[in-house]
Amino acid sequence: MTSDSTSTDLSGLDWATQRGMGALAEKMGMEFLEFSTERCVATLPVEGNTQPVGLMHGGAYVVLGESLGSMAANLHAGPGRLAVGVDINATHTRSATSGVVTGVCTPVHLGRSITVHEIVVTDDQGRRCSTIRITNMIRELPA
């Protein structure tokens, strides 16, 4: 069994869709497009996720990044293990004002006990809006 499969041999996207991204991501309108240990992609609408002045909220970029990075780390961890975030940072370089933003998550390091992912968030024109890095610790699930 590869790290992309689960005990029921679901594809990464099927696994992520079944598991769900959680209540916050769902309320924000996040949608999966692609999901594997090598690359995860999701979108988030700008509308409903803005600051009072109409710019995409920086925290919304971070929610997108953390959701992708944590879910990717959990897919890598495999059955019987759990990945939990221990560090996240973000650099915002542009503000989206309409449409959707797209987060592309790729691994920097996939270890037995630590993962590091980089998430690049771009606007509809492909311009980078935020770069997020998340570190997750992998633990055994309690018996």
Check whether 49 has a pLDDT greater than 50. yes
How far apart are the C-alpha atoms of 137 and 2, rounded to whole Å? 20
With 50 as the cut, is the pLDDT of residue 46 above it?
Answer: yes
Q: Using alpha carbons only, what angle is made at residue 83 by residues 79 and 84, rounded to the nearest 5 degrees?
A: 150
Residues belonging to the active site: 66
With b meaning 16 or more CB within 10 Å and e meaning fewer, what string describes 99-124? Answer: ebbbbbbbbeebeeeebbbebebbbe
Query: Which of 3-7, 75-79, 112-116, 126-130 shows the lowest mean pLDDT across its residues?
Result: 3-7
pLDDT at 15: 80
Q: What is the mean pLDDT of the chain?
A: 91
Output the DSSP codes for 50-81: B-TTSSBPHHHHHHHHHHHHHHHHHHHH-TTE
pLDDT at 91 over 70: yes
Phi, psi of 68 (to 5 degrees): -65, -50
Q: For residue 117, what pLDDT is reported? A: 98
Asked whether the predicted pLDDT for residue 95 surpasses 90, the reply is yes
Section 40-68 average pLDDT = 97
Res 129 pLDDT > 50: yes
For residue 1, name the pLDDT band (cuts at 50, 70, 90).
very low
Calculate mean pLDDT across residues 26-47: 95
- pLDDT of amino acid 9: 58
User: What pLDDT is recorded for position 40?
Assistant: 96
Q: Are 104 and 44 in contact (CB under 8 A)?
A: no
